[in-house]
Chain A
Amino acid sequence: MKSRSVAVTTTLQSAVVTGENVVAGYPGKIVWRGASFSLDRGELVAVIGPNGAGKTTLFRLLLGLQQPVSGAIKIFNEVPKRGNPLIGYVPQRHLIDSETNVECLELVHLAYCGHQWGFHLTAKVGRAAARRALEAVGATELASKSLNALSGGELQRIFLAEALVSDPDVLLLDEPLSSLDIRRTQELVQLIDRVVRTRKVTALLVAHDINPLLPYLNKVVYIANGKVATGTPKEVLTSERLSELYDTHVEVIHDSRGNVAIIGIEDHHGDE
């Protein structure tokens, strides 16, 4: 009897992120509509599409920073609320620049306990958690280095550690690969995949180029032209599906190694 009810709950709970006919944007300025999707635990999902299509908007909906215009979007079977510790977030832009002379451990530590008000005599627990997060991303030796002394690839590891420190069930990564060269991109993608598989988290990753991610992806969320297509890469990355999405003829070409090229679309530089 007990194992049966556990089995039922597990099935219900395996869909971590669900959307039913979601319309995103603001009344008067719809960004995308008709989005229905179901993302399961432990899946690595790419969120792609042209600039300004509304990829960050999806993240803002899941973080509870924005409400859908209509439709139901759920995370962990509940309406998204602000400050959910089960979500780890790596935003697109960061304030870190050449003047930021703060050690990496401190940034990760703050992600763990920065929401706590009041005076704290000791930071031992938080710093230990921060060290574990840095270890998980292979950045232990960067702990006492200053943020402004890191390379782009190293910084992305620190931001990932920031997102992991609260032991989340969902990771939202907004363009973590943008400023990296091919080698660092591959390293980071492999790291993210390893983290996803060992911790069984659901990771949504916004990217411009899907090819580095293809070997590791479970699903794709393709946002373009005010519409959203979700499914496995094989289902979504077809000429038919994307032509339907873009309302114009789009050709999807696969090369001998499985890389994908999408021909026939303009990359709109919108304001996202």
Chain B
Amino acid sequence: MQHAFEAGTLVAIVAGIVGYFVVLRRSSFAAHALSHIGFAGAAGAVLLGVSPILGLFAFTSVGGIGMTVLGPRASNRDVQIGTVLAFMLGLGVLFISLYTGYATEAYSILFGEILGISSVDVIVTAVAAIAILCATAFVYRPLLFASLDEDVAEAKGLHMHMLGIVFMLLVALATSIAVQVVGVLLIFSLMVTPAAIAQRLAKRPWHAVLISVIISLTATWVGLFVAFYEPYPVSFFITTFVFILYLLVRSIHPKLELMKTVSTFAKPIGQAQN
């Protein structure tokens, strides 16, 4: 259980930070696809008797670079990505069926099984998390700039292609370790939704990243606590927590905007307009 908390905390922090850029760059489908590509790698690794996380690392990295090479912003990119990810899922199914071990291995890759994480995997997760955090600390300004105003960033000398590859590798690595907690299918709940909520609430990137990390951390801890007492999957609680929070923010926020508009018009008649 302690290992689960350690790994879960590291994953939540990383997912909250990387997720901010995923949402900013409108790459949530690419992140989603990467986790499915990783599934084939994880299943293949299990078949070979190797730790699934290595298969995840390998396939998501290659997949991520492949996606960037496909072209920066093609309009029918989702068709291309979707085609590849369907094939990858099929590959994963084949590997799983070839594996004569237990089916729970497949279950844990698809939905996450953090409670059973080994101390070796915690160390691997920690190393990956530190690598991601260091890389992010180094590239965050150019990446932010390139994500917000691509043409001006390019004119200022930044290389869009290289930044795109760096970003995809960050997502690939973050996805790989996040799969341990929520699995391939539920990766959105850590990598996308917390950041999406944060971006609705905060106008400054620093604040949004902080909120995103807080949300994913809280969701993960809540999930782990509840799963300790109830025999239900951790990933379910994480996903549900994040979903409810998302609905709350979506329903309250329009009302906040409405209140702002009302207060502007409701200024006392005597007061001068500045």
Contact = CB atoms under 8 A, between A and B. Distances in A.
Most buried by A among B147, B155, B157: B155
**Contact size class for B?**
20 to 34
Interface in A121-151: 144, 146
Contacts of A83: 155-158
B149 A65 contact: no
Contacts, number: 91
A90 B156 CA distance: 11
Interface string A85-117: 101011111111001111100110011011111
Nearest to B144: A110
Interface in A146-177: 146, 162-163
B138 A91 contact: no
A91 B152 contact: yes
Chain A: number of interface residues, binned into ranges: 35 or more
Contact of B141 (A63, A90, A116, A144): A116
Nearest to B257: A149
A123 to B, nearest CB: 9
Given A102-B205, A146-B203, A95 B138 contact: no
B205 A106 contact: yes
Given A95-B150, A102-B205, A117 B155 contact: no
Interface string B178-213: 000000000000000000000110111100000000
Contacts of B151: 89, 91-94
Given A65-B155, A89-B152, A101-B203, 8 more contacts: A114-B142, A114-B145, A114-B158, A117-B142, A118-B138, A118-B141, A119-B138, A120-B141
16 contacts: A82-B157, A95-B147, A95-B148, A102-B203, A106-B204, A110-B141, A114-B141, A114-B146, A114-B153, A114-B158, A115-B141, A115-B142, A115-B156, A117-B139, A119-B137, A162-B149
Interface of A: 63, 65, 82-83, 85, 87, 89-96, 99-103, 106-107, 110-111, 113-120, 144, 146, 162-163
